């Protein structure tokens, strides 16, 4: 059963300018997650925004408590901890599906949470 759906888009150029600031990168990305090119980071940020929406966007979620991952084939996923994990557990989320794409100067991400 689907418990939440979220989608977000992120302008690649605008995000690259913001992500040039190390403080922004530290606030948005966990160590090791931030060592990617700007277009990849924009996709990861869009996925985090989409995840927040799928979880009902409660106050207090910490960006670094959701780490966007990829498996050996490149398929994206998400590792939850802290505030994000607590909210997912509160909603009964057992599985999170992630899709990220880049085209025409934007990154788009979609998240589906299910029980």
In the predicted model, what is the mean pLDDT of residues 64-78?
95
The pLDDT of residue 5 is 98
- Residue range 9-35, pLDDT digits in tens: 999 999 999 999 999 999 999 998 988
**Superfamily the domain 2-114 falls into:** 4'-phosphopantetheinyl transferase domain (3.90.470.20)
Q: Centre a 10 Å sphere on the Cβ of residue 49 and count the other Cβ atoms it contains.
A: 20
In the predicted model, what is the mean pLDDT of residues 86-115?
97
- The 3 state secondary structure assigned to 32-58 is CCCCCCHHHHHHHHHHHHHHHHHCCCC
pTM above 0.85, yes or no: yes
**Residue spans per domain, the chain:** 2-114
In this structure, are residues 85 and 66 in contact, taking their beta carbons and an 8 Å threshold? no
Whether 73 has a pLDDT exceeding 90, the answer reads: yes
The pair phi, psi for residue 39, each rounded to 5°, is: -70, -35
Query: Which helix (H) or strand (E) covers residue 12, if one does?
Result: helix 12-19
The pLDDT of residue 109 is 98
E strands of the chain, at which residues?
A: 2-11, 66-70, 76-80, 95-103, 106-114
């Amino acid at each position: 059963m689907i418990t939440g759906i979220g989608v977000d888009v992120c302008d690649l150029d605008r995000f690259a300018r913001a992500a040039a600031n190390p403080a922004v990168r530290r606030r948005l990305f966990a160590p090791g997650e931030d060592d990617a090119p700007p277009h990849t980071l924009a996709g990861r940020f869009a996925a985090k925004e989409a995840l927040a929406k799928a979880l009902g966007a409660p106050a207090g979620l910490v960006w670094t408590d959701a780490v966007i991952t990829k498996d050996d084939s490149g398929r994206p996923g998400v590792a939850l901890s802290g505030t994000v994990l607590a909210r997912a557990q509160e909603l009964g989320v057992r599985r999170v599906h992630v899709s990220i794409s880049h085209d025409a100067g934007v990154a788009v991400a979609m998240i589906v949470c299910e029980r």
